[in-house]
Every structure is written in structure tokens, then in C-alpha cells.
Amino acid sequence: GAVVSQHPSRVICKSGTSVKIECRSLDFQATTMFWYRQFPKQSLMLMATSNEGSKATYEQGVEKDKFLINHASLTLSTLTVTSAHPEDSSFYICSAWIREGGYTFGSGTRLTVV
């Protein structure tokens, strides 16, 4: 149980375009979801926390106008990278809080901006 499905797994886009990444909770309701970014050979950096029906809370240094997060339902959270540039190329992973101490992760999206 407690599976988060993340799509797409890989995406290549042109510089200046926008890309949407989706995370769906398949068998539970995700009231809180987290978005992380991971550059090669580095750790996961928390970008933002989203709660269903309210605005996302962004970590310091993350541009909220560039990384749009929508958590309009209890089963879907989306991250849109707007006006993507090559430096946005990274591995993006979503996570959902399922219970105290319990988090489940999506399988990640490899974004390449060319």
C-alpha cells in the first residue's frame, strides 16, 4: 500500500518551455506532499511542501514563480517547471506523508533541458 505514482519518468524539453510533473497517490489520500530536486552525485534537496487546497511552502532559495506546485486534490500534486533552462536539468522526486514518520516516494523524473 501507500504507493505514489510519478510521471513522466524522463522528459527532454527545449529551453524556454514548461514541463509538468505529476505525482498521484494510488491507494491513500495524500494531504501533504513534498518535492525534492537531486543533482548528479548529490543529495536530495527539499524544494517545497504542499498541502491539499492551500499554497505550497517553498524552501529558502527556491523560486516559487519558476517551480509552480499545485495540490488541488488529495490524490494529485503537480510540479511545473516554467521557462526551463539547462540549469534546471535534474532529477525531481515527490514524496507523500502517510503517517508519523512514514513517507513514500515517487520513482522520480529525470528532466533534461536542451
Partner 1 sequence: SQQGEEDPQALSIQEGENATMNCSYKTSINNLQWYRQNSGRGLVHLILIRSNEREKHSGRLRVTLDTSKKSSSLLITASRAADTASYFCATDSGGKLIFGQGTELSVKP
DSSP classification of residue 30? -
Among 49, 82, 89, 112, binds partner 1 (CB under 8 A): 49
Q: Going by C-beta distance under 8 Å and a sequence separation of 6 or more, which residues neighbour residue 49?
A: 32, 33, 34, 56, 57
95 sits near partner 1 (criterion: CB under 8 A): yes
Among 27, 65, 99, 101, binds partner 1 (CB under 8 A): 101
Q: Considering only residues 20 through 39, tell me which ones interact with partner 1, judged by CB under 8 A.
A: 32, 34, 36
CB 27 to partner 1: min, Å: 17
106 sits near partner 1 (criterion: CB under 8 A): yes
